[in-house]
Amino acid sequence: MSRPDQSVTFLRSYGYSIYRFPRATAQPLDLMHRDGKDLTRLGLVTDLIAPGAVALPQVGRDERPGIDIEGKETSKVNAAIGLSILSSFVGALGGSNVGLQIAFSRARTVTFQYTAVTEDQVDVLGLEKFVKAGSISPHVPSGTLEKLLDDEVYVITSVLKTKKIVVESHGEAGTSMKLDVPVIQAAVGGSLKVDSESGLSSRVAFEGALPIAFAFQAVQLVFDESGEFLTTEQLAPGDAAARAVPTATAARRGGRQPVFLASRGVFMRVHS
């Protein structure tokens, strides 16, 4: 049996899945297509469902999350995976990930902590009422409709955000390992603030100016073959991750992810 992919599952114990590339634009009611372990954005739920008599549920913004994640450490992850997670986060916060690999070259595992976490969320029942009262837009392409009827379409219902992440480095025996904060600060550059955390040389905090979405919950939209909405099914935490493709240009722009085209056969699929 293969081992779980830590890059997807490391927030599973908190009931959340992750954004492979954290971004400020992620929000509840984003419509996603699932392909294996990846969720890619299609648009908003209103691009799929034409409204009926029930209004779209309001998004609760910047609330305290319903989970106790504040200041809690994630489970240890392999250093290579942890560095990939950190690099994506640093890029999203506006820094450069060039040089991070050297700074963490002696680490074997890392743990993460998220600080001042807030949540944007919608009520699932409100979403279900909206979809039930509405109808599938007649402008939805047949390929997307096929994905919907194949139970491959999901809606984001909760997003966790933070502008500060704390990383602790561990050596061969699992003991804490000293990190050189000035070297790391020089490596990430930009407007990102880098400090040792709680006076410990093994713990480094990365802080940006704006909160970035790093984790989410989602529900699958379940329709029957006639196109009638039946229910939603919760995405199991850590069962899939939201996907984006970073580019060198995106990194220079502070981690913002562009819309891109991915070729598949004679058709083109649009991602963001």
Taking only the tens place, the pLDDT of each residue in 78-123 is 888 888 889 888 888 888 877 788 888 888 998 888 888 999 999 9
**What's the angle, vertex CA 238, arms to CA 225 and CA 125, rounded to 5?**
50
pLDDT in the model for residue 254: 40
3-state secondary structure of 112: strand
The DSSP letter of residue 56 is P
Instruction: Encode pLDDT of 210-234 as tens digits.
Output: 999 999 999 999 999 999 999 999 9
The per-residue DSSP string of 137-151 comes to -TTS-HHHHHHHHTT
